[in-house]
Amino acid sequence: MSKTVISTFPNQEAAEKAVNTLRQQGYDKEISVIAQDKEQQNNGQPDTVTDGTSTGGVLGGLAGLAVGAGALAIPGIGPIIAAGPIAGLLSGAAAGGIAGGLADYGIPKERSEYYEQKVKQGHALVSVQSAPEKTNNAAETLRREGAQDVEVH
């Protein structure tokens, strides 16, 4: 049974660096990213359905670093970019917001709400779903790269 390491970064650049490091360590399809779509916030209406691409290179290389990147609108939060395994959960649970998607991903409700607030505040969320024997390595990598709020679920 896999475990999930979840963390936040104060900005998208730091998250991108951490995702690059994780990929160099062999993580790939296990990585998920959620961040505000600042370009859509500044330029108009976001797409409401993911289409497998990021809108306008919003996060630089960040969305392209994880599988299944897409843009969507979350009621009460606005436009976001979601990539990786969590992207499908968010698009299916848009009405439940990020917290609903994270809860479906196995994160406790209270912590899911906390992480949703962090994204609302402009932080980038990075998570890694991995086999238990790889969990500590993923958590340590995220910490070394400057992650905050690193938790294992």
Taking only the tens place, the pLDDT of each residue in 86-139 is 877 776 555 567 888 888 888 999 999 999 999 999 999 999 999 999 999 999
Residues 6+ apart with CB under 8 A from 22: 31, 126, 128, 138, 141, 142
User: What global pTM score does this model have?
Assistant: 0.79
Closest CA to 70 of 39, 96, 49: 49
Structure confidence at residue 36 (pLDDT) = 84
Structure tokens, 45: 């209406």
Sign of the dihedral defined by the CA atoms of residues 68, 54, 122, 17, in that order: positive
